Structure 1
Amino acid sequence: MKKIICVALLYAVFCTNLHAQQANAKMNAYINNLMSKMTLEEKIGQLNLVVPGGGSVTGSVVSQGVDDNIRKGNVGGLFGITGPDKIRKIQDIAVKNSRLHIPIIFGLDVIHGHRTIFPIPLGLSTCWDMNLIERSARIAASEATADGLSWAFSPMVDIARDPRWGRISEGSGEDQFLGSQIAKAMVKGYQGAGYSSGKNLMACVKHFALYGAAEAGRDYNTVDMSRIKMYEYYLPPYKAAVDAGVGSVMSSFNEIDGVPATGNKWLLTDLLRKQWGFKGLVVSDYTSVNEMTAHGMGDLQAVSALALNAGLDMDMVGEGFLTTLKKSLQQGKVTQKQIDAACRRILEAKYQLGLFEDPYRYINEDRAAKELLSAENRAAAREIAAHSFVLLKNAGQVLPLKKSGTIALVGPLANNKNNMLGTWAVSGDPQLSVPVLDGIKNVTGNAVNIIYAKGANLTDDSSMAKNVNVFGPRAEFDGRSPEEMIKEAVEAAGKADVVVAVVGEASEMSGEAASRSNLDLPESQQNLLKALVKTGKPLVLVLFNGRPLTISWEDANASAILDVWFPGSEAGNAIADVLFGNYNPAGKITATFPRNVGQVPIYYNHKNTGRPLEGEAFQKFRSDYLDVPNSPLYPFGYGLSYTAFSYSDLKLSKQNLKGNETLTASVTLTNSGQYAGQEVVQLYITDPVASVTRAVKDLKGFQKIMLQPGESKEVSFSITPEQLKFYNSNLKYDWEAGEFIVHIGTNSRDVKSGKVNWSK
């Protein structure tokens, strides 16, 4: 029987490979025929990605003369426009009025949802649930394809260890292992098993590469790091997306080894294409070709030639390819072969998406009417948002709240639709989101008496407000004085059993071009909280944020803190579900929270020094601070629950292993509390002695376990030498024999540990 099954599997693989070969041969024949008819200008035109005015513009430059350029065959792709009617009109120009009728590919920053908005990616990552993450991307793809799009500039997989960097909100945090799992889930959700259904679109992994390591946490800033750090910690999520079959890659703004990524041949050709085998198209970020001039790489012609030579296929918005490549070809600075290769990869993407077969396949008015912000999609957004929340503190089990009594609901984000979606929700309508006040009313009905008071502006700093209001009113000023608003909030607290303060960042205080040197809550909100603490009433903070904040005072003084990030369209309903116990929070943070900004950059998988600090107390001539402990406020992987989980001691199947043996590491997890709940059990491994210095520990696995009160379960992880591998000084990926420490626990700090010896 086994022999029959093996033969059947081999035959199935053979048939699959044969079908793929036949499909590739058919595509190649089609594109060869098309390219034989194309002029040089038309080939270069395919390399041009434009953004017209009037849509979702995500940069400082808008393309001019778009319609005329499409007629001339000078546009390969377009982004910033959504809606079946608008996109149909533009596609008509391409397929009816250009010489060769080549369709346009339409893209957009579909980052955490299209019309139905899910939690920001950093928030989404804290659910540690790949099925939910994939589901969010699949819903986003289905909505976007109904709305005319076939290309999403997502997922953003940049590892970030510095919360000052605004775009930490757009990624999955600081860990390469978890980030790689999320990258794969997002690609699978967007692209599915292929594009034949018309409900999947081409994903674009970004920003390649190392963008999250910008110096000083300042956006677009330079990046400099060793190759070992690059390969070990920053490259894996991009590689995971490529291995998952991502259709496109976007270059980053930063430099690598002194050469900007957009013009870096080692990065785009040697690594991406030759080492990793990537076959798809590479697109620049917004005007990043042009910006190489400011980096010091030459004029527009020089940097455009540099980018093409490096392996870039498509120029986003800058039009350097369109205006200079013909001249560079004549001068021998680029070759016809390079232009043809870039053009071919763009045409292949269009072919695989089915645009040559049907240029209008991603334009579906009926689907758009039924799917965009549908009740089903909103229900999914509500569920996924609740799973992303992280309970940071819950003294005296003040949460969950009772569905009775009186609640003082205060804070600038308590009844505020404009900030529920978070950054990079370019197609979302904030006015269709559910604010916290409405969510609590929806969940509790008339059972709870709610006294609402705004309490404070998001910020009283007019300069800050101006900077964050670029895309509309996010930080608005009340007509009353700060003193009047605080007085109203204190009076409300005096009449209530518990105070729920909804505070944090405005949505555009994080995201692109939103770096911050101060990670405290704005002073206006700090003053409100200090006044509320003086009332003596239990104080629950609901925290909106796109990054780890420095909230040591808040942690010391609030009764409970629930971090909800920016939850999306169903924000208020999801928050109320968790506050009142309809869902028991299980999120775990994926980016370390510092005690103050002076600790930044801070991350769990740091290396020891020759003088490591032992314990928390200050020691002279050790690696520490005079004024603050080394440890973070909340460590990576941290998150509480309404119930309590206890871990048994670690059990290892063997103490000594050899070669490719498998080690089983296990703990017994018990729900020792009173609520059913989920726990993310985390596996870390330490390699104490190696040929290059290693991190104090690295995440190597996790499982999300559901337990009823009183229930216990043995949670096991299988460990092989694959989990022991690392990059040595020759960039060889391998493992070395020796002692290893295995840790299993509830976060990166609180673990049960055991040692094994592993020989080759």
Structure 2
Amino acid sequence: MWLHLISVLIVLLGLLPLASFGQSSKRLLYSSLSDDERVNDLMSRMTLDEKIAQLINTAPAIPRLNLPAYDYWSEGLHGVARSGYATLFPQAIGMAATWDAPLIHQISTAISTEARAKYNEAVRLNIHSIYYGLTIWSPNINIFRDPRWGRGQETYGEDPFLTARLGVAFVEGLQGDDPHYLRAIATPKHYAVHSGPESTRHSANVDPSPYDLWDTYLPAFRATITEAKADSIMCAYNSINNYPACANKYLLQTVLRDAWSFKGFVTSDCGAIDDFYEVTAHHLSPSKEAAAVAGIEAGTDTNCGETYLSLTEALKKHLISESQINASLKRLLLARYRLGLFDDASRVPYAAIPFSEVHSPSHRELAKTAARKSMVLLKNDSSFLPLDLNTRTIAVIGPNAASLAAIEGNYNAIAEDPKLPVDAIAAEFKNSMILYAQGSPYADQVPLPIPRTMFHPSKSAVENGLKAEYFSDSTFQGNPVTTRIDKAIDFDWNSAAPTPGVPSNSFAVRWTGTITAPQTGDLALAMHFGDCYPCTGHEQFKIFVDGKLIASDSPSENSLDSHFRLNFVDTNPHDLRVEYIHHAPLRGADLSFEWTPQSSYLRKEAVAIAQKSDVILAFVGLSPNLEGEEMSLHVEGFAGGDRTDIKLPAAQQELLEALAATGKPLVVILMNGSALSVNWAQEHAKAILEAWYPGEAGSEAIAETLSGQNNPGGRLPVTFYAGVEQLPAFSDYSMANRTYRYFKGKPLYGFGYGLSYTIFSYQNLRLSSSKLKAGDSITAEADVKNTGTREGDEVAELYLMPPYSSVSPNLALAGFTRLHLKPDETTHVTFTLDSRTLSQVDDKGNRAVVPGSYVIAVGGSQPDSRLGKTASFSVQGTLKLPH
């Protein structure tokens, strides 16, 4: 006892040295003290400048205190991103389409396990940089209120209940279940009321009604904080009720910390604090110092950026106190203690996770399971699918048929060996002849990778592709480490080695073979570099045609594309040599040899192979190069990462119509991150499969679904509207006439919709009571039977139709569960609805269980669209619920 007290006293007096950085040494010891006491001790040793420097995301090392550097920015939306190879799961919208919360928990557990494995290895190698930390800036639980938003692909869809349940599962899986240590820290984002447009996100002010705020925009955040105990949260760029989200005391203090008892730390979105004073943004603050003060005073603890460094000057001007800085710093350091970053590895269970967990066989299998479960069958005319494995000739056509980007989505992990759809189709249908054509661009004037059909390893070669030689340095000296055939130049090697034996930060590649133009004349070509940093002088390429140098360049941070034109006087093969050098210490490389083709001759080529086929598989849709975060792209249908229309782009629509005109049966496979109004395809195609951006195993999942090896059971997490004319203005954040809960029109496909290769029926719906007192729970039970001939998955969905009010929804999802049933098998499902699930929000934003008559519907989708059962009950009395 006395020894312990003496140790504490010595620590408080600062007389004992702290340990070194080394993984095997004991860092920032005295673990017999509480985390709170240890943080207080550490802070007492820091100078004011050292404290302030810790408040930005790139927190520097403090050598004299043996405090290592730490970067709070890491990504793990659907796989650990931007730090080398990792398991790539379906994009978040695809994960939502599984309607499988336990699966989402498994996925996030795998993601944080890989993040720990990467972190442990990084510490061993003394790497403390961006993307190698354990504070994961995911999940994105904004409500996907409008399909035009380019970042909707990162969300779990349009429904607050579905988003909340999947968000809770993700956060709990990410953070782990150890009673003391966190495996990683989840960061639900973007808090709050944030869902486009991208072009105005730095300056927009949103004035949601109290009803919409508490009924739609906040429930998922509340659930991830109060139930899942997320230890971090990210505030958004936009203003809410005239205060920027990261300076909004109502959101960050009154709601987050007071009402929800949040104890973790708040991080700003990147550059959000700058928006307080930038002239094109919110005009909240007259200076950097005032902006930094506003962020700290509201409770934004860490600044992604460097504006908080101006707190030094703010202190000199007495604009803020040291105690206010200490409050934010303490929350940040407590997070690092809860991660076990300052404890001996033997005390932290997650410190023993080996690097072999990254992209392990079990994680790869999980990615495949997730991809299979994300498939949503939208149409299957006369049970045209599944296809016969002995189909003689299959035409695989479309811009997504051989697109790496359409497998990845955005904020993606780097898949080690992803198959593209055309290759997966060939592997699944081994007895079929597979014919491939790119078919069309995504949209006119939008570049995409040059298709494999234009490349051959030599003039005599039949196979597509180029001979690729990979060198272990950036000089092309010596023998290549690997020689292989690359079907196209379209790669994502972000901080990853392109082949074993080649370092990720310094290598060279030489591609040789021939290029054959589809028609004479000028071709608009480009070399695209995706995510190199630094770029200038670190990425270089040269292109030779028939021995002549036709292009040579090095990108810069301001321009990642190098454009040039090449004139072809014939359609004969011409010798091609492409040399690429990558020598960047931080991250990269992401390389694509692209063209901007004319739609007409691509379409002509596609029709020619379609006429030779027995069935056409058209891979159309969108691309994360079209929809995403704050882009510079502005073409018909797209603006700055968002969409101005929700129909299939004209070039692809013309392709579908030309293919259908051949008379051959047409199957449409959609790959996209948001809803498309594919009305023509619904009328004319034999079948439509929604595949999203499905991850590293997505192509196999598509092929297995087309063959019947996988019976699709996914459901739409968003409404597919018939057209943009059915929607309010994109900038209007009112939920009136938005999403299935408030939409008054007839959608193309409803939220919760999805077909199967078998049939399910519902019987014996019964409620635990027909009369409730406000505050009571109710249980609904039903039997679900597979009445078809194939085993498959069903999603049992429970909807609640509340008493009518001027603001109440038409109906609202209140329960769901995914089931697997064999033919003739019956299972019993049970849903329990507690008082919060039964409650309603009034026009002032108050939540309560209210009296009146309620209806519960249980079935395979919304009650008006598929077989299901309904039952009624009543509630007596009123119970007000806290925010």
Mark yes or no: TM-score above 0.5.
yes
Aligned length: 670
2: CA distance, partners of 1:593 / 1:261: 30
Equivalence for 1:685: 800
Q: Tell me which amino acid in the other structure corresponds to 1:394.
A: N
- Structure (1 or 2) with the greater helix fraction: 1
Bigger CA drift: 299-308 or 253-262?
A: 299-308
Q: Tell me which amino acid in the other structure corresponds to 2:685.
A: A
Q: Cα deviation per residue 1:66-113 (whole Å; 9 max; x = unaligned)?
A: xxxxxxxxx25xxxxxxxxxxxxxxxxx36x45553442453121111
Conservation of the 8 A alpha-carbon contact between 1:281 and 1:345? yes
Equivalence for 1:580: 707
Q: State yes or no: 1:36 paired with 2:36.
A: no
Equivalence for 2:479: none
Equivalence for 1:236: 219
SS at match of 2:368: helix
Q: Cα deviation per residue 1:117-153 (whole Å; 9 max; x = unaligned)?
A: 1111011011011121111111111222222231211
Q: Cα deviation per residue 1:537-582 (whole Å; 9 max; x = unaligned)?
A: 2211111101111211121111111111001112211211211111
1: CA distance, partners of 2:602 / 2:231: 52
The correspondence for 1:565, drawn from 692, 695, 702, is 692
In the superposition, relative to structure 1, how do residues 646 and 292 fare at CA in structure 2: closer, same or farther (>3 Å)? same
Matches of residues 44-59 of structure 1 in structure 2 within 5 Å?
A: 44-50=52-58
Equivalence for 2:785: 670
2: CA distance, partners of 1:101 / 1:655: 62
1: CA distance, partners of 2:225 / 2:717: 22
Q: State yes or no: 1:725 paired with 2:839.
A: yes
In the superposition, relative to structure 1, how do residues 724 and 377 fare at CA in structure 2: closer, same or farther (>3 Å)? closer
Conservation of the 8 A alpha-carbon contact between 1:643 and 1:671? yes
2: CA distance, partners of 1:475 / 1:506: 16
SS at match of 1:681: strand
Matches of residues 67-78 of structure 1 in structure 2 within 5 Å?
A: 75=59
Equivalence for 2:160: 176
SS at match of 1:209: coil
2: CA distance, partners of 1:478 / 1:462: 6
Measured after TM superposition, the shift of residue 374 of structure 1 is: 3.2
Equivalence for 2:671: 544
SS at match of 1:437: helix
Q: Cα deviation per residue 1:383-419 (whole Å; 9 max; x = unaligned)?
A: 1111111111111111111111221111121122243
Equivalence for 1:109: 75
2: CA distance, partners of 1:366 / 1:350: 18
The correspondence for 1:227, drawn from 210, 215, 220, is 210
The correspondence for 2:118, drawn from 143, 147, 158, is 147
1: CA distance, partners of 2:591 / 2:650: 19
In the superposition, relative to structure 1, how do residues 654 and 277 fare at CA in structure 2: closer, same or farther (>3 Å)? closer
2: CA distance, partners of 1:608 / 1:287: 32
Q: Cα deviation per residue 1:426-452 (whole Å; 9 max; x = unaligned)?
A: x415x73210122123333x3222122
Conservation of the 8 A alpha-carbon contact between 1:264 and 1:310? yes
Conservation of the 8 A alpha-carbon contact between 1:674 and 1:709? yes
Conservation of the 8 A alpha-carbon contact between 2:721 and 2:747? yes
Equivalence for 1:6: none
Q: Tell me which amino acid in the other structure corresponds to 1:448.
A: S
Measured after TM superposition, the shift of residue 754 of structure 1 is: 3.2
- Which 5+ residue runs of structure 1 have no aligned equivalent? 1-21, 51-74, 77-93, 613-622
Q: State yes or no: 1:423 paired with 2:406.
A: no
Q: State yes or no: 1:489 paired with 2:606.
A: yes
1: CA distance, partners of 2:110 / 2:302: 27
Q: Tell me which amino acid in the other structure corresponds to 1:758.
A: V
Measured after TM superposition, the shift of residue 278 of structure 1 is: 0.6
Conservation of the 8 A alpha-carbon contact between 1:455 and 1:489? yes
Equivalence for 2:150: 166
Q: Cα deviation per residue 1:283-326 (whole Å; 9 max; x = unaligned)?
A: 10001000122211122222111111101110102x1111x212
Q: Tell me which amino acid in the other structure corresponds to 1:36.
A: S
Q: Tell me which amino acid in the other structure corresponds to 2:813.
A: L
2: CA distance, partners of 1:541 / 1:202: 40
Equivalence for 1:129: 100
Conservation of the 8 A alpha-carbon contact between 1:672 and 1:710? yes
Equivalence for 2:813: 699
Q: State yes or no: 1:354 paired with 2:340.
A: yes
Conservation of the 8 A alpha-carbon contact between 2:98 and 2:373? yes
Equivalence for 1:311: 299
The correspondence for 1:338, drawn from 319, 324, 339, is 324
Equivalence for 2:444: 460
Measured after TM superposition, the shift of residue 660 of structure 1 is: 5.2
1: CA distance, partners of 2:256 / 2:156: 21
Conservation of the 8 A alpha-carbon contact between 1:219 and 1:512? no
Q: Tell me which amino acid in the other structure corresponds to 2:96.
A: S
In the superposition, relative to structure 1, how do residues 583 and 464 fare at CA in structure 2: closer, same or farther (>3 Å)? closer
Conservation of the 8 A alpha-carbon contact between 1:647 and 1:668? yes
2: CA distance, partners of 1:697 / 1:468: 47
1: CA distance, partners of 2:528 / 2:827: 48
Equivalence for 1:504: 621
Matches of residues 285-684 of structure 1 in structure 2 within 5 Å?
A: 285-293=269-277, 294-298=281-285, 299-317=287-305, 319-322=306-309, 324-357=310-343, 367-368=354-355, 370-405=356-391, 406-425=393-412, 427-429=413-415, 432-444=417-429, 446-462=430-446, 476-477=594-595, 481-513=598-630, 514-601=641-728, 630-648=745-763, 650-652=765-767, 654-659=769-774, 662-684=777-799
Equivalence for 2:492: none
Conservation of the 8 A alpha-carbon contact between 2:405 and 2:625? no
- Which 5+ residue runs of structure 2 have no aligned equivalent? 1-29, 81-85, 120-132, 450-525, 532-589, 631-640, 878-883
Conservation of the 8 A alpha-carbon contact between 2:189 and 2:234? yes
% of aligned pairs identical? 33
2: CA distance, partners of 1:474 / 1:506: 14
Q: Tell me which amino acid in the other structure corresponds to 2:700.
A: N
Bigger CA drift: 456-465 or 254-263?
A: 456-465
Conservation of the 8 A alpha-carbon contact between 1:685 and 1:740? yes
Measured after TM superposition, the shift of residue 729 of structure 1 is: 4.7
The correspondence for 2:824, drawn from 710, 734, 737, is 710
Measured after TM superposition, the shift of residue 753 of structure 1 is: 2.9
Q: Cα deviation per residue 1:213-262 (whole Å; 9 max; x = unaligned)?
A: x4699655432201221112111111111121111111101111100001
2: CA distance, partners of 1:201 / 1:581: 38
Measured after TM superposition, the shift of residue 474 of structure 1 is: 7.3
2: CA distance, partners of 1:295 / 1:306: 13
Structure 2 length as normaliser, TM-score? 0.71
Q: Tell me which amino acid in the other structure corresponds to 1:263.
A: A
Measured after TM superposition, the shift of residue 366 of structure 1 is: 9.1
Conservation of the 8 A alpha-carbon contact between 1:511 and 1:546? no
Q: Cα deviation per residue 1:596-627 (whole Å; 9 max; x = unaligned)?
A: 11222599x99889xx9xxxxxxxxxx99xxx
In the superposition, relative to structure 1, how do residues 98 and 574 fare at CA in structure 2: closer, same or farther (>3 Å)? farther
Measured after TM superposition, the shift of residue 675 of structure 1 is: 1.2
2: CA distance, partners of 1:203 / 1:661: 33
In the superposition, relative to structure 1, how do residues 693 and 255 fare at CA in structure 2: closer, same or farther (>3 Å)? same
The correspondence for 2:91, drawn from 115, 120, 142, is 120
In the superposition, relative to structure 1, how do residues 362 and 489 fare at CA in structure 2: closer, same or farther (>3 Å)? farther
SS at match of 1:48: coil
Structure 1 length as normaliser, TM-score? 0.82
RMSD: 3.1
